[in-house]
A = this chain, B = another copy of it.
Amino acid sequence: MSRRSGILEFAVLGLLREAPMHGYELRKRLNTSLGVFRAFSYGTLYPCLKTLVANGWLIEEPGSAPEEALAASLAGRRAKIVYRLTAAGKEHFEELLSHTGPDAWEDEHFAARFAFFGQTEREVRMRVLEGRRSRLEERLEKMRASLVRTRERLDDYTLELQRHGMESVEREVRWLNELIESERAGRDQRSGPDAPALHDNDSGETGGLPRHGGSTRPDPSDDTTK
């Protein structure tokens, strides 16, 4: 049950929950569609897939996808492994989704969580958004404090960097406020106590998100390995 990287494991399970895929495609999805937040190399991905299989959360299948169905029946082809989530894997992912440890507020971890909000219960979404917000507010506190302590002996550029960092965080807080409010609004106007919202995505409307944003460490990185 080796703990293997929170984020990657989480993202892989989440992506495979939507549809089986092979490693190569997974990596692309990680880096482009989903991956505004982080790029992984094959050297990380493939070993990770192995351990997920070892944990029983995935199974490897010979490529039985649409076009390859016939081709696969030929002689010893090079496998082109498709990974599929097992029942245990699904269960594990759902557990990860609801498990709101203090890790979940950190930059990249948060982005990963957010990316799968479509499959997350509203209650948990709220906890994550609010946790993130208070994490950022802590940061602002510290930044302000350190600004006051050190203001006089910093040159213009350092100061500008500080200011700009703070503004960035403040922006994200405002963004979170809007999201939180819109979550609350969604809860009120929709079904009463709790609506599952956890069958399969496609439902089009999740509650109505607001129309502008703040900041979460952008870092797409290349499509190509190098």
Contacts and interface: CB of A to CB of B under 8 A. Distances in A.
Interface string A114-127: 11111000000000
Contacts of A163: 213
A171 to B, nearest CB: 7
7 contacts: A33-B146, A36-B161, A36-B166, A111-B161, A139-B220, A217-B217, A217-B218
B32 A168 contact: no
Contact of A156 (B118, B146, B165): B118
Where chain A touches its partner, the secondary structure class is: helix
A191 interface: no
Contacts of A190: none
A142 B223 contact: yes
Contact of A216 (B116, B158, B161): B161
A160 B209 contact: yes
A115 B213 contact: no
Contact of A209 (B157, B171, B209): B157
Nearest to A29: B150
A32 B209 contact: no
B36 A165 contact: yes
A118 B154 CA distance: 10
Interface in A193-226: 201, 205-206, 209, 212-220, 223
Contacts of A157: 114-118, 206, 209
Contacts of A167: 212-214
Given A165-B218, A171-B171, A171-B215, 17 more contacts: A33-B150, A36-B166, A37-B161, A107-B217, A111-B161, A115-B158, A116-B157, A139-B218, A142-B220, A142-B223, A143-B220, A155-B206, A161-B216, A164-B216, A172-B218, A215-B218, A217-B219
